[in-house]
Amino acid sequence: MVLERAFSKRLNKKELYGFLFFFPALIIIVVLVGFPVLFGIWMSFFEKGALSTLMRFVGFKNYSTILQNPSFWNAFKNTIVFTGVSLLFQIVLGMAVAFLLNQNFPGRTIARGIVLIPYLVPTIAATLIWKWIFNTLYGILNYALMYLKIIDNEISWLGTQPYAMISIIFVNVWKFFPFVTICVLAGLQMIPVQLYEAAKVDGASVWRRFLHITLPHLKLILAVVIILRFIWTFNNFDLIFLLTEGGPLNSTTTVPILAYETAFRSLMMGRASAIADLMFLFLILIFIFYRRFIKYEVS
Amino acid sequence: MENGTKRITWFISLILILGTIIFSSENSVAQVKTIRFLADQTAPAQKKAIEGAARSFEETYPGMKVEIEYTTWDAVYPKLIAGVAAGVLPDGGMLMDMIAASLPFEGLLLPVDDIIQELGGPDAFTEGSLRIAKYKDRYYTVPEGKHAQVLWYRKDLFQKYGVKVPSTWEELFEAAQKLTLDTDGDGKTDVWGIGIPCGRNGFTNRVYQGLMWSNGGRISDRNFKVILDSPQNMEALDYYKKLFKLSPPGSSEWGYTETMDAFVLGKVAMAPYYGRVIGNIHDRNPKIEPFIAVTPWPKRKEQHSHVSLRGLGVFKSTKNEKEIKEFIKFFYTSGFHTKYLLATPGHAAPVLKKEVNSWWEDPLLQQHKEAVEILIERSRYGGFTSAEPGNPVNPAGARIEGERVMEDLIQKAVIGNMSSGEALKWGAEKIRKISEEVGLKQ
């Protein structure tokens, strides 16, 4: 609306200042985000060797090659599994911890700080630590499980299926559930306490209070958290690459990893751009459907 | 303040700030010329040698500045790709074997015949050093070092359990079986017979290739026709699977570091690796240092192992050709190249004949003289994916390595459900496709 009025020259001074403050950020977004996206879409219609500046127009050939390649569908399947399962556990664990941190108990402030630690640790540091924890011969996880006689022999957590997928999902949940916790906790603190008191007086159980008071108040927050975590998890590259590099046997190769390998190992930039663009298209479609679903739910 | 005064004050401040930025810049064109050098060896001792060469060059040539740009060796390709796209490649750099072999085909390097001549000509280099340096009668890289893969073993364990040092595949398997030990009697294996990597990385490929070549197999023939799915390669892959069963749990994730660590920390009685083991055991586990020894990979029809041939190159896009070539020459003539080689004693054999005597003066090399002699001797045989033994340099080699075809097929056979034949057939199809895309008729 501000933009429309800016272009129709009906802005007042305050709105003009607001627009001027916003304009540099818009330029940065256009240059640093918009241009690479558009360039990537354009490059996907060309054959381009990574070490060459020559480009040959091939139309939709890159797209048809990718969509007929079993490796792409394997990567897509892995991405859906990784995203879906990670998201489920992030939401459930994040909400559970948020409910806990919303209670009054001694040390609550410290607990709230500690819960944030996984989210604050840089991904590279976190993955190096977890790589050592999961190490088959020297890792503390195998040592503890064998000491407690839960397992008899070491498990190769990152080197065998299905443990590799389980491990990367675990680390992803550990790293990002605090984001869900913080968002949900903020939402919980906005719910008037009187609603719970009134419901208790009326004899509503814990479950009914959750269903009819808590959940409706958290709907919008959860809607935003879910879509953001979905997009960020679907796009996740660094955590998986650092832990397993897509192995063993491509069982943890996701679409972002495939795009990277196509660009920097197969040295095919056009095809890599096409993979990235297919990801982009998929996420846009998901967002459109999701937005319609949320609008319907809210109304 | 009046509006006019305010404007003048802002304007003068802006001029002063801009002037300070421009004129205090170290890169002021009139004063210093900067050359950018890519280095993919980041171990502290190696960095010290490279930095030493850079600083010494700057003292010798006032007005020159050398900026070393460090990267890990597996990040070199992404860096080069970004550099090509943005037109900001460094002036020169260190190139690992497959990259040194492929960049001349891509037309990204300048000839360095002048540097080779100034260093004494081709005869000044040790045998085999120049194997991948030449492309279409011009030299495009100056050899940096040769790294041979050998079989490290624990003499003490072999002696204690009366096991013969293996010289055949059968003896190697038998030794690995006998040296899988429960040393503390708790019913669990503490020392495994051999460490064999099977992670999705170049080292898995390089260990298998030694077996493949020694059995007379190749990825391609001399005309680059793919012959990967041959009975010899199948036999080698079956043998790899057999050996892998005697490797510690978790070796399906192993690469260079994990395999070397397993030997250095005493977890395995034997492991394939390069000369870097010497420095690592000396620093990290000196109590077993007197008991380590080396033997070549067992002979079969031939006797080969992976030999890496690294090189220094000058990128075609450089605007400082004279200066970067001067720096590369200085690196060799100033003694810093020898220091760089000795930063990882025994790991890289010298490539210049005149360096050999001073290289041998290192006390650690003298302490492990027998092992180092074998490492040097083996560096004359073998090859790598782009330069298989007896074959010309393969233009598809970098893509084959980059796409991890070999390690994927090894994983499919060793930890997946595929038979060796199926895995090799899968790999051969992929490599044929790559070869055709690179312009090699199949």
For chain B, the average pLDDT equals 91
CB–CB of B416 and A249 under 8 A?
A: yes
- For the ranges B59-63, B102-106, B313-317, B359-363, the lowest mean pLDDT is seen at B102-106
Number of CB atoms found within 10 A of residue B393's CB: 20
Determine which of A249, A250, A252, A258 to mutate to test the interface with B (most B C-beta atoms within 10 Å).
A249
CB–CB of A51 and B106 under 8 A?
A: yes
**Residue B339, pLDDT score:** 93
Q: How confident is the model at residue A8 (pLDDT cuts 50, 70, 90)?
A: low
In a domain, A23, yes or no: no
Amino acid at B312: L
Nearest chain A residue to B402, by CA: A265
CB of A248 less than 8 A from some CB of B? yes
**Residue B3, pLDDT score:** 64
Shortest distance, CA B252 to any CA of chain A (angstroms): 5
In a domain, A51, yes or no: no
* Cβ burial, residue B182 (10 Å; 0-12/13-18/19+): exposed
pLDDT at A297 over 80: no
Nearest chain B residue to A164, by CA: B253
End-to-end CA distance of chain A: 23
Point out the residue among B78, B103, B251 whose CB comes nearest to the CB of A264: B78
Structure tokens at A266: 């197969």
Structure tokens at A242: 């650092």
CB–CB of A266 and B84 under 8 A?
A: no
pLDDT in tens, B382-415: 899 999 999 999 989 988 988 899 999 999 999 9
* Residue with the two structure tokens 């050592």: A132
State the DSSP code for B221. -
Chain A residues in contact with B416 by the CB 8 A cut-off are 249
**Residue A206, pLDDT score:** 87
- Taking CA atoms, A139 is separated from A4, A77, A133, B250, B263, in Å, by 59, 30, 4, 11, 17
Shortest distance, CA B77 to any CA of chain A (angstroms): 6
* Residue with the two structure tokens 């930025």: B21
**CA A166 from centroid of its chain's CA atoms:** 16
* Residue with the two structure tokens 């939402």: A187
**Residue B50, pLDDT score:** 95
The CA distance from B234 to B120, in Å, is 44
Give me the sheet containing B142-148, strands edge to edge: B64-70, B33-39, B92-95, B307-314, B142-148
- Contact present, A156 and B253 (Cβ < 8 Å): yes
**Residue B74, pLDDT score:** 74
**Residue A19, pLDDT score:** 82
User: Which range is most confident: A83-97, B91-105, B121-135?
Assistant: A83-97
pLDDT at A6 over 60: no
**Residue A9, pLDDT score:** 57
Point out the residue among B84, B198, B404 whose CB comes nearest to the CB of A265: B404
Q: What is the arithmetic mean of pLDDT over B194-213?
A: 95
pLDDT at B291 over 60: yes
In a domain, A29, yes or no: no
CB–CB of B199 and A247 under 8 A?
A: yes
**Residue A5, pLDDT score:** 53
Find the CATH number of the domain harbouring A146: 1.10.3720.10
Q: What is the arithmetic mean of pLDDT over B144-171?
A: 95
Percent share of chain A, pLDDT over 90: 69
Number of CB atoms found within 10 A of residue B427's CB: 25
For chain B, the residues whose C-beta falls within 8 A of a C-beta of chain A are 77-78, 80-81, 84-85, 103, 106, 108, 198-201, 248-253, 262, 267, 398-399, 402-404, 408, 411-412, 415-416
Size of interface A-B (CB pairs under 8 A): 81
Q: How confident is the model at residue A148 (pLDDT cuts 50, 70, 90)?
A: very high
ipTM over 0.85: no
Query: Mapping DSSP to helix (H, G, I), strand (E, B) and coil, where does residue B40 land?
Result: coil
Q: How confident is the model at residue B187 (pLDDT cuts 50, 70, 90)?
A: confident
In a domain, A152, yes or no: yes
**Residue A295, pLDDT score:** 76
**Residue B87, pLDDT score:** 86
Point out the residue among A246, A248, A263 whose CB comes nearest to the CB of B252: A248
In a domain, A46, yes or no: no
Query: Mapping DSSP to helix (H, G, I), strand (E, B) and coil, where does residue B394 land?
Result: coil
Closest-CA residue to B92 (of B129, B53, B137, B130):
B53
Number of CB atoms found within 10 A of residue A191's CB: 15
Nearest chain B residue to A158, by CA: B253
Chain A residues in contact with B248 by the CB 8 A cut-off are 136-137
CB of A20 less than 8 A from some CB of B? no
**Residue B132, pLDDT score:** 87
Which domains are assigned to chain B? 33-147+308-368 (3.40.190.10), 150-305+403-438 (3.40.190.10)
CB–CB of B81 and A137 under 8 A?
A: no
End-to-end CA distance of chain B: 81
- Contact present, B221 and B241 (Cβ < 8 Å): no
Closest-CA residue to A254 (of A245, A264, A263):
A245
Amino acid at B340: Y
- Contact present, B295 and B166 (Cβ < 8 Å): yes
Chain B residues in contact with A162 by the CB 8 A cut-off are none
- Contact present, B412 and B244 (Cβ < 8 Å): no
Percent share of chain B, pLDDT over 70: 96
Chain A residues in contact with B86 by the CB 8 A cut-off are none
pLDDT at B437 over 60: yes
Q: How confident is the model at residue B82 (pLDDT cuts 50, 70, 90)?
A: confident
What is the count of structural domains for chain A?
1
Closest-CA residue to B228 (of B438, B381, B433, B437):
B433
pLDDT at B1 over 70: no
Buried/exposed code over A35-45 (b: 16+ C-beta within 10 A; e: otherwise)? eeeeebeebbb
Chain B residues in contact with A153 by the CB 8 A cut-off are 249
- Per residue, the 3-state secondary structure of chain A, as one string, reads CHHHHHHCCCCCHHHHHHHHHHHHHHHHHHHHHHHHHHHHHHHCCEEEECCCCCEEECCCHHHHHHHCCHHHHHHHHHHHHHHHHHHHHHHHHHHHHHHHHCCCCCCHHHHHHHHHHHHHCCHHHHHHHHHHHHCCCCCHHHHHHHHCCCCCCCCCCCCCCCHHHHHHHHHHHHHHHHHHHHHHHHHHCCCCHHHHHHHHHCCCCHHHHHHHHHHHHHHHHHHHHHHHHHHHHHCCCHHHHHHCCCCCCCCCCCHHHHHHHHHHCCCEHHHHHHHHHHHHHHHHHHHHHHHHHHHHHHC
pLDDT at A7 over 80: no
In a domain, A16, yes or no: no
In a domain, A184, yes or no: yes
Shortest distance, CA B34 to any CA of chain A (angstroms): 24
* Residue with the two structure tokens 């210049």: B352
**CA B143 from centroid of its chain's CA atoms:** 12
CB–CB of B253 and A158 under 8 A?
A: yes
Instruction: Enter the pTM of the model.
Output: 0.86
Q: What is the arithmetic mean of pLDDT over B368-384?
A: 92
Going by their DSSP bridges, the two strands B92-95 and B33-39 should be labelled as parallel
Q: For residue B221, what are the contacts with CB-CB under 8 A and spacing of at least 6?
A: B227, B391
Question: Which residue range(s) make up the domain with A282?
Answer: 71-298
**Residue B196, pLDDT score:** 97
Shortest distance, CA A223 to any CA of chain B (angstroms): 37
In a domain, A28, yes or no: no
Q: What is the arithmetic mean of pLDDT over A203-218?
A: 89
